[in-house]
């Protein structure tokens, strides 16, 4: 219980402030605020690279993806952090397609050339395979591209809401850097 861990001085990679932390944590950020700020900046970079990547894909592939996403996919927004006192909150995002067929998911990832694939197991439901984007910048980039091809009304509403809420948030940061 009384193992003493040596505290070390770290420099925050966002604000350059020096702070004491445990080496074991490999601390990069002096605070949660700096952590989320950096995550947002990383997202801006990912937005740019994903947009460039998507330009290389054929329109046919994009439209094919839209059909699958409308039927078998989802856009999820979950709360990652919430502070009751300050009312500060941060979110975790996911843009995904799930299938029982592993082959389908790995082919999808190969064709698209980005995103992650993983296995998802739910008790009583067996396993399924998921192709996923987990970064706000990546998701915003793909949503902007698929947006004109979406057919289903509830999907359109969901996508419009997402664009209205997060495009400005990300792209205001974009301009600053
Ligand atoms: Zn900091």
**How many A from CA of 19 to the centre of ligand 1?**
9
In contact, 127 and 36? CB cutoff 8 Å: no
Given a cut of 70, the residues of the chain with pLDDT beneath it are 1-4, 23-26, 173-177
Q: Which residues have a beta carbon within 5 Å of ligand 1, which is an ion?
A: 12, 14-15, 17, 30, 34
Cα gap 47→121, rounded to integer Å = 30
Domain 58-176, CATH? 3.10.28.10
**How many A from CA of 26 to the centre of ligand 1?**
14
**How many A from CA of 129 to the centre of ligand 1?**
38
Cα gap 21→11, rounded to integer Å = 10
Return the pLDDT at 175. Answer: 56
With b for 16 or more beta-carbon neighbours within 10 A and e for fewer, the 117-130 pattern comes to beeeeeeeeeebbb
Return the pLDDT at 177. Answer: 46
Cα gap 31→12, rounded to integer Å = 8
**How many A from CA of 41 to the centre of ligand 1?**
14
If we measure between CA atoms, which residue out of 137, 136, 123 comes closest to residue 52?
137
Return the pLDDT at 2. Answer: 54
DSSP string, 25-37: GT---SSHHHHHH
Return the pLDDT at 23. Answer: 66
């Amino acid at each position: 219980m009384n193992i003493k861990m040596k505290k070390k001085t770290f420099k925050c990679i966002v604000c350059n402030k020096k702070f004491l932390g445990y080496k074991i944590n490999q601390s990069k950020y002096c605070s949660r605020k700096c952590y989320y700020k950096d995550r947002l900046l990383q997202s801006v970079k990912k937005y740019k690279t994903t947009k460039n990547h998507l330009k290389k894909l054929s329109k046919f592939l994009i439209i094919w993806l839209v059909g699958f996403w409308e039927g078998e996919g989802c856009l999820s927004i979950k709360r990652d952090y919430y502070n009751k006192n300050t009312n500060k909150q941060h979110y975790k995002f996911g843009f995904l397609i799930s299938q029982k067929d592993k082959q389908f998911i790995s082919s999808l990832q190969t064709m698209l050339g980005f995103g992650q694939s993983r296995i998802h197991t739910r008790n009583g439901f067996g396993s399924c395979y998921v192709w996923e984007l987990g970064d706000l910048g990546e998701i915003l980039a793909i949503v902007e591209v698929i947006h004109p091809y979406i057919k289903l009304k509830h999907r359109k509403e969901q996508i419009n809401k997402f664009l209205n809420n997060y495009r400005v948030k990300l792209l205001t940061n974009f301009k600053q850097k």
